[in-house]
Amino acid sequence: MIERTPLLNVTTYIVLCIGALMVFIPLWLVFVGATLTVREINIPELHLIPGNHLFENLSAAWERGHLGERLTNSLIMSLGVATGKVAMSAITAFGLVYFRFPGRMLIFWLIFITLMLPLEVRIVPTYAVAANALWPFQSILDATGISGIIASLTGIQLALEWNLLNSYTGLILPLIATATGTFLYRQFFLTVPDELLEAARMDGAGPFRFLTEFLIPLSRANMAALFTIMFLYAWNQYLWPLLATPDRAGFGTTAVVELKMLAPNVSTTGGGTPDWNVAMAGCLIVMLPPLLLVAFMQRYFVRGLIATEK
């Protein structure tokens, strides 16, 4: 499409450049912080010019934080969460939008309410669930007397246990169990014209084929956006991985948890070297994979449907 709009183009560039500048300033400060010595970073002034200690800070952070192994853990967890979330959200939203069954709205709201109470608030019982994910079901069986019946019939004492601590499953599953993606897909499916379903039906497509061959290809840009955001969301999680991975020597933990361990202690009675330079260097390392992923995911942001070349 060829249009001549020079004034508007200049304005657009100005907007883009101001936006980019606002993104860069804080990132630059983090970078500069990672290049200073512990003495320099503690001089109370705004540091804008990088020092020349970047590599020693990076290697200090890398070693102290065991970041090599931790980044692998983070990567597996984040990919798991992003993939799981995209898949789970798509099928849930599909079920909610394209089917009519009793209690449908109730289920939508039940899923939606999970957005309204953060993990911080329910940490103690959530730990218990992570230690034994079958605890809720055991309790229900006990309360309803079913386990009693089983015990008297078969002589087996039912003791369900599925420990999720120190496992990728345990890291991933609870982070998938929220509503953001479901809501996004619901919004998207609602915009899909009804005629599409009718056309698919005439084609003889059942629900499963309709989802995989019609809806999913249509939602590519949204899917890329959701995948990116969920990856970043999972990557930056702190509290859940901290709880779910007590075995640091064996299973290890995620990079962000380790990053927090690198940061100087902030406690009531002082102490500890305020080596924020190393912490900032750790930030740089931990930030890098997500930044690369964002750049990589760009290729999936393409016009949907009948995209024509310019």
Partner 1 sequence: MKSKLIATAATLLLAATTSAFSAERVKFEMWHGLTGDLGSAVEEVCKRFNDSQTAYEITCTSQGSYDNALQNAIAAYRAKKNPTIVQVFDAGTLDLLLSEAYVPAGKLMEDNGYKINWSDYVPAISNYYADSKGVLNSFPFNSSTAMLYWNKDAFAKIGKSEAPKTWEETFETLKALKTAGYECPMAWDYGVWQTMEQFSATNNIPIATKGNGYQGLDAEFSVNKTKFVDIIKSMKKAYDDGLVKIKTQDTGATIVQAFSNADCQLMLSSIADHGTVGKTQKPDMQWDVAMLPILAGGERHNSLVGGASLWTLKGKSADEYKGAAAFFNFIAQPDAALFFSTRTGYIPVTTSGFEFMKAQGFYDKAPYKGRELAIASLNASRITENTRGIRLGGYVQIRKEMRDALVEIFANKVSVEEGINSAVERSNAVLRKFEKTYGGKQLP
Partner 2 sequence: MEKRATFSNASIGVLFVAPQILLVFTFFYWPTGAALFWAFTLERPWGGGNEWVGLDNFRQVFADRAYWASITRSLVFAGATTFLAMGFGLLLAVACDRGLKFYQGFRTVFVWPYAVVAPAAALAFRFIFAPDAGIFSALVKSNPEFWNPAQNGYHAMVMVIVCYSWKYAAYCFIFFLAALQAIPRSVIEASAMDGAGVLRRVRDIQLPLITPTFFFLLVISITDSFQDSFSIVDVMTDGGPAKATEFMVYKIYFDGFRGLDYSGAAAQSIVLMFLMIVLTFFQFRFIERRIHYS
Q: Is position 291 an interface residue for partner 2 (rule: CB under 8 A)? A: yes
Q: Closest Cα to residue 129, out of 144, 143, 119?
A: 119
- Minimum distance from residue 152 beta carbon to partner 2 (Å): 27
Residue 267: partners with Cβ closer than 8 Å, 6 or more residues away = none
Picked from partner 1, partner 2, none, the partner binding residue 242 (CB below 5 to 8 A depending on kind) is partner 1
CA 170-117-127 angle, 5° bins: 30
CA atoms within 13 A on the CB side of 129: 14
- Minimum distance from residue 214 beta carbon to partner 1 (Å): 29
Which residue ranges make up the site for partner 1 (CB under 8 A)?
Answer: 38-39, 42-45, 64, 123-124, 126-128, 130-132, 162-163, 165, 167, 169, 242-243, 246-249, 257, 260-275, 279
Binding flags for partner 2, 60-99, as an x/- string (CB under 8 A): ----------------------------x--xx-xxxxxx
Q: Is position 193 an interface residue for partner 2 (rule: CB under 8 A)? A: yes
Residue 121: partners with Cβ closer than 8 Å, 6 or more residues away = none
- Minimum distance from residue 3 beta carbon to partner 2 (Å): 7
Which is nearer to partner 2, 3 or 153 (by Cβ)?
3
Q: Closest Cα to residue 243, out of 175, 178, 176, 166?
A: 166
Map the footprint of partner 2 across residues 194-233, applying CB under 8 A.
194, 197-198, 207, 218-219, 221-222, 224-225, 228-229, 232
Q: Is position 283 an interface residue for partner 2 (rule: CB under 8 A)? A: yes
The secondary structure of 108-145, three-state, reads HHHHHHHHHCCHHHHHHHHHHHHHCCCHHHHHHHHHHC
Picked from partner 1, partner 2, none, the partner binding residue 148 (CB below 5 to 8 A depending on kind) is none
Token digits of residue 12: 């657009």
